[in-house]
Amino acid sequence: MKKENKDTAILLLHCPDKQGILAAVTEFININKGNILYLDQHSTHDVFFMRVEWDLNGFLIPRDKVREYFATLLASKYEMEFNIYFRAQKPRMAIFVSKLSHCLYDLLAHYEAGDWEVEIPLIISNHEELEPIAKKFGIPFYCFPITPENKDMQTAAELELLKRNEITFCVLARYMQIITPEMIQAYPNKIINIHHSFLPAFVGAKPYHAAYERGVKIIGATSHYVTEELDAGPIIEQDVVRISHKDSVGDLLRKGQELEKIVLSRAVEKHIDRKILAYKNKTIVFG
Amino acid sequence: MKKENKDTAILLLHCPDKQGILAAVTEFININKGNILYLDQHSTHDVFFMRVEWDLNGFLIPRDKVREYFATLLASKYEMEFNIYFRAQKPRMAIFVSKLSHCLYDLLAHYEAGDWEVEIPLIISNHEELEPIAKKFGIPFYCFPITPENKDMQTAAELELLKRNEITFCVLARYMQIITPEMIQAYPNKIINIHHSFLPAFVGAKPYHAAYERGVKIIGATSHYVTEELDAGPIIEQDVVRISHKDSVGDLLRKGQELEKIVLSRAVEKHIDRKILAYKNKTIVFG
Amino acid sequence: MKKENKDTAILLLHCPDKQGILAAVTEFININKGNILYLDQHSTHDVFFMRVEWDLNGFLIPRDKVREYFATLLASKYEMEFNIYFRAQKPRMAIFVSKLSHCLYDLLAHYEAGDWEVEIPLIISNHEELEPIAKKFGIPFYCFPITPENKDMQTAAELELLKRNEITFCVLARYMQIITPEMIQAYPNKIINIHHSFLPAFVGAKPYHAAYERGVKIIGATSHYVTEELDAGPIIEQDVVRISHKDSVGDLLRKGQELEKIVLSRAVEKHIDRKILAYKNKTIVFG
Amino acid sequence: MKKENKDTAILLLHCPDKQGILAAVTEFININKGNILYLDQHSTHDVFFMRVEWDLNGFLIPRDKVREYFATLLASKYEMEFNIYFRAQKPRMAIFVSKLSHCLYDLLAHYEAGDWEVEIPLIISNHEELEPIAKKFGIPFYCFPITPENKDMQTAAELELLKRNEITFCVLARYMQIITPEMIQAYPNKIINIHHSFLPAFVGAKPYHAAYERGVKIIGATSHYVTEELDAGPIIEQDVVRISHKDSVGDLLRKGQELEKIVLSRAVEKHIDRKILAYKNKTIVFG
């Protein structure tokens, strides 16, 4: 199901909460003849979060001046941190994989069906196994085998490749390598991982084996932004599936993989739609 | 867990969607020194829906004038339909039951624990079986046995009783009688029913038997406002539970009853918090 | 995750319930040196259902005589209806599609990953749009455009093609054509459909539009065997996802499609593993 | 919904897995004229688990000899550990509470509705707050305030009270005290706790606060048997509910409490029906 591709601006912001912010932002858009298509806001006692999307047709401020005007007229006054995106500028996504194909197929099926307003210029892997899938879909595949010795060098080469391709965010589709701090700093809250457990339960390797050992009755999957602490970044989406004593570790793996692809795709879709605001290791995910 | 009982006003409105409504409403509150505690809005292409709650401490417009000022200054300009509630005025809820106790117990347990800002002045039934429960909780119990001959007369007596007790909404906690048009007109979108199926599947009597016959793998429960068409009113909340071929009709009944009480209590809580806006046989349920 | 491919026999049976059936069946396997790997049974008051799988290594009765011996020694005595399958003989599955690719991709991703012990010799469609996907995966694609005039003729040609390819079951992966009685009779309880609603709610065309109109808070998907009554065959699997007033019909479509592929793949996996027993328009789905 | 109260025997067993156990057990029941009403079994590669329930009407072995005959004729041969229960002998359950009433009300509502074949001779608490609820339901309430100094003495008094009342299992309905080793040894796998998180995430105190801090998108509740390691005993049942960034800690508490009562009641029902077999810190929960 293709979404309509309108010429819109998307503003994501947060700032100290005080009276009148919402009115000020909506008035800024209204008086400049922007038609608000979507608005959602959230506030804790201290902080105000907002996402607003408006039609750029007839908007008085030219596209390349929107950021500047907003910064000058509102952001500084309210101490806002903000980003403005234009729907016409599609995000560019790099997929990282290792040997498991289920998440990769699901992402590529969405991509080919035109479900998402995104470009996928390349796939990176530390193994060659999934190259045939990349070929099927006509997407360049780059293999960077990783050893303890070459990891820094390979990461540098990957980063160079990402920059050359103007990649705006990365998706780890069951990529089985720890991401280096350099990579994380280059893409802060822009690397989406899928962890095959219901975090914070079963951090680290072999979570299905650990879940089996503990005898849980439900297993889960968690997509999150990658930070320097393993499996501890801001959670974007989680889901679970019921299991029973009848399920072997292999059954958990199979049931879990169905979850993983769903949960990862939901997170990727929200990121592409610029509906996620990461703040202090948590996410605001607008509806 | 008791919610804080602040002195707040709650505004629920809908109107034709056009530019500037949100800014106008928030400005109305801001310039009169109201501190917005909660705001949520939703718009389709045509209609704009909004719920806003603000602190009345320091609000310049006196409580008994808020409605008038809002009507004059905003509602007429934007063709709004609206309601203003004050959290200090607790809604008054009547519970209707027949012979099954599970929903009644769940409602009363919430009530006694102080979970909800509500008064329950009375319980009405067409049978005497549950009177001992009402007594346990010290709530007046009125029995109106219904026959085809006396139904109109009994309903009139019930309505009289509801009015005398200044009841603001009714909850049918597995009350097994069709509600009369008179009652519905007296309480439009103010009578909450729990139907023991995933509507619109299995409308009418014996939905668990029907679900068993059809061989579904999931059963559900639905809370909705009562309208004149049976089980067809605006849906407030639904939930489901997985079943299997091992489950007898009795098992469905047991599993379903757990759902019914949860789903009904969630709907009642949302209604008490004035978070539901019914519009054209659907509900906006604010978060 | 590949399952181990053992040389096993799978027996599915049902019969009038009486004492001693279970003991008789397990003894038949035990005394002939079969090692039971899996056993599950279910009984209503009247009917006894059973699935048992045992290792054929060392089993005294030769593979091509198992059916005969079981029929002679047990089935006639207990009035059993039964099927015996051998895991070494992979089922052969035909996929039917129209224009939507999400279920097709999910099935093919499972197939290519080796998740299922199945052969997919061909894909049939009434449209050409998805031929490129079939090509990607190297699976023969046959297009049979359907008009009211040619429907019988095309169905006959499809049936001929299915037989020539020794197809054992069919999967309708969002195939938008009513299946003819001839096809259903050729594949009784062997045509799996995915319907994009929580049956029996929203039978027929455009269920997401109907769900949107009704204002439900949860949508679902249902996989079932095709029978002559539309969307009324034995249900194999269902699942649901929560929606809200914020979701447009387009959002329902998107969320629903994620469900459809999951629910269809679960049903196909159960069918491939011969874990489903259809009886009187319901299914026993063994764990 | 009352279950039928038949005069049946329930056998729960586990033993090393080998050929012929199932046939031997069912034959033992069949040849002695027992009509099997329910049978479920499970085997890992090493261990065989089974629950079978049969009608005692016409069973040749007298009730008070069943255990001995089974031990002699089968259990020793197959190295079985087993328990035999008679449905006519209702388990006797003690409820432990502190200050929160939601789980207590839910248990008592089931009890009073006759949903469960159980006796509840007493309620124990370390606080007096919930005594009025016990009074409402006419159940003796014993208050044992706990301090570091008196804990051993109070536990001894509680144990004495439990024995005098022939209590067969205990339910900790949000009882906020660590259970002593003496109590656990007196009731091994017979003390059911409800922990207000999705274990093994958020072990220990204040799990809702921890869940809020971590920013999870789903919260859960877990019922388990109490062992000496805190929150680490065999899990009986878990369930979850979706939350969002909009939910405060208070919202998590409220949503979680609905889960807690449901999950605890499901575990209690399974225990009463003798459907749980604890083995090596995990549970087999028969369907």
B76-106 per-position pLDDT tens digit: 999 999 999 999 999 999 999 999 999 999 9
Q: What are the two backbone dihedrals, phi and then psi, of residue C141, each rounded to the nearest 5 degrees?
A: -120, 125
CB pairs under 8 A between C and D: 34
**How many C-beta atoms lie closer than 10 Å to residue C112's C-beta?**
17
pLDDT at D239: 97
Would D257 be classed as within a structural domain? yes
Chains that touch D (3 or more CB pairs under 8 A): A, B, C
What is the C-alpha to C-alpha distance for residues D88 and B123, in angstroms, rounded to an integer? 37
Would D160 be classed as within a structural domain? yes
In C, which residues are within 8 Å of D18 by CB distance? none
**CB nearest to B257's CB, from D1, D112, D266:** D1
Contact A42 D245 (CB under 8 A): yes
Q: Mean pLDDT over all residues of chain C?
A: 95
Does D48 share its domain with D161? no
Distances in Å between the alpha carbon of D105 and those of B103, D109, D110, D121? 12, 6, 9, 16
Would B29 be classed as within a structural domain? yes
What is the C-alpha to C-alpha distance for residues C248 and D111, in angstroms, rounded to an integer? 44
pLDDT at D2: 41
Would B13 be classed as within a structural domain? yes
Does C50 share its domain with C28? yes
In B, which residues are within 8 Å of C238 by CB distance? 216-218
Structural domain ending residue among the three candidates B56, B86, B116: B86
- Domain interval for residue D62: 8-86
C23-64 per-position pLDDT tens digit: 899 999 999 999 888 889 998 879 999 999 999 999 999 999
Contacts of C177 (CB under 8 A, 6+ apart): C98, C126, C146, C151
B42-46, B109-113, D167-171: least confidently modelled range: B42-46
How many angstroms separate the CA of residue C97 from the nearest CA in chain D? 34
Report whether pLDDT(D5) > 70. no
Contact A281 D215 (CB under 8 A): yes
A249: closest chain D residue by CA: D44
- Binned at pLDDT 50, 70 and 90, residue C5 comes out as low
Would B2 be classed as within a structural domain? no
**How many C-beta atoms lie closer than 10 Å to residue B256's C-beta?**
24
Structural domain ending residue among the three candidates A67, A86, A105: A86
Report whether pLDDT(A53) > 80. yes
Structural domain ending residue among the three candidates A37, A64, A86: A86
Does B114 share its domain with B70? no
Does D81 share its domain with D128? no
pLDDT at C45: 77
D174-192 per-position pLDDT tens digit: 999 999 999 999 999 999 9
Does C220 share its domain with C141? yes
Would B22 be classed as within a structural domain? yes
% of chain B residues with pLDDT over 90: 91
pLDDT at B3: 46
How many angstroms separate the CA of residue A201 from the nearest CA in chain D? 5
Q: Mean pLDDT over all residues of chain D?
A: 95
Structure-token pair, residue C47:
């009917």
Contact A217 D237 (CB under 8 A): yes
- Binned at pLDDT 50, 70 and 90, residue C2 comes out as very low
pLDDT at B6: 77
**How many C-beta atoms lie closer than 10 Å to residue B63's C-beta?**
14
Does D271 share its domain with D165? yes
Pick the catalytic residue: C7, C64, C231, C273? C231
Distances in Å between the alpha carbon of A206 and those of A147, A197, A209, B268, D198? 20, 9, 5, 43, 19
Does B105 share its domain with B192? yes
**CB nearest to D23's CB, from C19, C23, C35:** C23
What is the C-alpha to C-alpha distance for residues B203 and B205, in angstroms, rounded to an integer? 7
Report whether pLDDT(A35) > 90. no
What CATH number is associated with residue C21? 3.30.70.260
Contact A30 B20 (CB under 8 A): yes
pLDDT at A5: 53
% of chain B residues with pLDDT over 70: 98
Q: How many domains does chain C have?
A: 2
Does B17 share its domain with B148? no
Report whether pLDDT(D161) > 90. yes
How many angstroms separate the CA of residue D150 from the nearest CA in chain A? 34
C248: closest chain B residue by CA: B44
Would C2 be classed as within a structural domain? no
Would A213 be classed as within a structural domain? yes
Could you tell me which residues of chain D have a Cβ less than 8 Å from any Cβ in chain C? 19-20, 22-23, 26-27, 30, 35-36, 39, 41, 242, 287
Does D124 share its domain with D153? yes
Does B80 share its domain with B99? no
Residue C174 burial (10 A CB sphere; 0-12, 13-18, 19+): buried
> C-alpha dihedral over C59, C62, C63, C69, to 10 degrees?
-90
Report whether pLDDT(D279) > 70. yes
**CB nearest to B102's CB, from D113, D244, D246:** D113
A6-20, B209-223, C70-84, C180-194: least confidently modelled range: A6-20
What CATH number is associated with residue C186? 3.40.50.170
Contact B218 C240 (CB under 8 A): yes
Pick the catalytic residue: B106, B231, B247, B273? B231
Does D59 share its domain with D145? no
Does A30 share its domain with A102? no
Average confidence (pLDDT) over C215-242? 97
How many angstroms separate the CA of residue B179 from the nearest CA in chain A? 36
Q: Is B231 a catalytic residue?
A: yes
How many angstroms separate the CA of residue A58 from the nearest CA in chain B? 13
